[in-house]
Amino acid sequence: MNNLKRVLAMLLALMMAFALVACGGKEEAAQEETTTQTEEKTEEKTEEQPVEKTAEEIEAEELEAMKSEPMYEQGIVYYISPAGCTTTPYLAHKLGFFDKYGIKADGLQGGSMTEALGTNAVQLSMNHIAASLVPAANGVNYSVVAGGMVGCQGLVVTGDSTVESTADLVGKRIGITNGIGGPDYNIAARFFDADGFDPMTEIEWVNIERSAAIAALQNGEMDACILPDTFTYNMLQDGTLKTIRSITFDEDFIDEPCCVNLMNSAFMQENPLMAKYITKALLEAQDYMGKNGEECVQILLDDAIISGSFEVNMACWETMRWGECTNEFTEAAMDQLVSDYIRIGLITNTDDVEKVVADFWTPLYDEAK
C-alpha cells in the first residue's frame, strides 16, 4: 500500500511539473508574439512617416532645379528707375543679393517701363502703385510680387498761401506733372476722395513740367501741386512751400506701400523657381536697405542713379520705411487701393475688386518660412 502511494505521489508531481512547463512555454510564446507584432507595427509607422526635409535642404534642391528653367542661363533684365524710391532691383544686384541665389542680372535704363515690363523686354521693375495698377487692370502683363516702400509724394502750396486743407482747393487748379491718369493725378485724386470731394468734377487739373511747378505756384497759375518729397524737401524746410496732404506722413496713407516690385507674368509662369528666389532676394535687399541707408544712398549717388545732396536724399530715405512692406502689410492695403481706384473711376473696365487684386497681387515668397 505504501509503495502504491509513493508511485501515485510521484506521478502527480510529474504531471504538475509538465503543466508548469507548458504554461511557461505558452507565456513565452505569447510574449514573443506580442513583441514581434509591436516591432512590425513600429516598422510600419516608421515607413509611413518619412523624415521631413529642412528649409535649407528644400532650398538647395530648388536652387539646383532652378538651373533647368528656360531663363536661367540667360538671366534677367531689370528696369533702372532714376528715383530713390524705386531702387530695390538695382541695389539687389549691386549688393549681391541676386548672386546669392545664382541669378544672373543686368539693368536697362530709358524708354517706357510699363511697355518694357509688359512685353517681357525686362522681367523685373519697381514703380509706384499709382503708375502700375491701372495698366495691370487693363491687361498689361505684369503683377506685384513684393511690396517696396512707403510715401514719397505730397500735395503742396506756397508757404504764404491761405489754403489749409483740400476743402480750400475745391474748384481750384491743381498741378500734376504726368497728365490725367498718371501717378500724380491718381495720388492727388485719392487725397480729395478721402476728404469727401469728387476729383473728377470738383477740381481743375493742370498738367505742368516739374521744373516749372514752383514758379507756377508762386505766380498764381495754379493753386497746389503734387510733387516728390526729394524735390520739395528744402523748400518745405525754409517755408517756401507747405504740405496740405502727404502719402508719407498722413495717418490715412502711411500704412500703404507707395512703390512695389513688379514682375512680368509670362516670366513668372515659365520660370517659377527663378521668380521665387528673385523675390526673396528683393525682400532681403529691402531689409538691408532699411538698416544701411547711408551706404545705399551713397551708392546711388556715386552711380548717378539719383541726384541731389546726400543730406536731402538721406532725410527722405529714412521716411520710406524700407523693410517694413511685408507681404502682410502690402496685402492689407490692396483691397482698399483697388476699391478706391474703381470708385473714383481710375479703373473703368471692371468693378470686380477681388479679381483685380488677385490678378495684380502675386506674392511669390512666404517670409514666414
The predicted pLDDT at position 156 comes to 98
Cell of residue 54, nine digits: 529642412
The predicted pLDDT at position 17 comes to 47
Given a cut of 70, whether residue 44 has pLDDT beyond it is: no
- Return the SS3 of 77: strand
DSSP secondary structure letters along 166-182: GGGGTTSEEEESS-TTS
Instruction: List the beta bridge partners of residue 175.
Output: 206, 225
Give the dihedral sign, CA 155/159/161/167: positive
Candidate from 41-55, 127-141, 208-222, 240-254 with smallest mean pLDDT: 41-55
Q: For residue 318, how many other CB atoms are within 10 A of its CB? A: 13
Cell of residue 135, nine digits: 495698366
Cα–Cα separations (whole angstroms), residue 241 to 150, 169, 231, 248, 310: 22, 16, 11, 16, 21
Strand pairing class (105-108; 76-79)? parallel
pLDDT tens digits, 316-365? 999 999 999 999 999 999 999 999 999 999 999 999 999 999 999 999 98
Cell of residue 17, nine digits: 511539473
Buried b (16+ CB within 10 A) or exposed e, 85-122: bbbbbbbbbbbebbeebebebebeeeeebbebbbebeb
Confidence band of 43 (pLDDT split at 50, 70, 90): low
Instruction: List the beta bridge partners of residue 127.
Output: 260
Could you give phi then psi for residue 99, rounded to 5 degrees?
Answer: -60, -35
Torsion of CA 259, 261, 266, 268, to 10 degrees: -150
Given a cut of 50, whether residue 30 has pLDDT beyond it is: no
Structural domains of the chain in order of their starting residue, each with its CATH number: 59-150+257-360 (3.40.190.10), 153-246 (3.40.190.10)
DSSP assigned state of 361: B
Segment 93-119 shows an average pLDDT of 95
Strand pairing class (153-158; 224-228)? antiparallel
Look at 43 and 283; give whichever has higher pLDDT: 283
Instruction: Extract the runs of DSSP E, i.e. beta strands, from the chain.
Output: 76-79, 105-108, 124-128, 142-149, 153-158, 173-176, 204-207, 224-228, 241-246, 259-264
Could you give phi then psi for residue 208, rounded to 5 degrees?
Answer: -150, 150
DSSP assigned state of 84: G
The predicted pLDDT at position 50 comes to 72
Cell of residue 15, nine digits: 504531471
| pTM of the entire predicted model | 0.84
The predicted pLDDT at position 82 comes to 87
- Return the SS3 of 281: helix
The predicted pLDDT at position 181 comes to 87
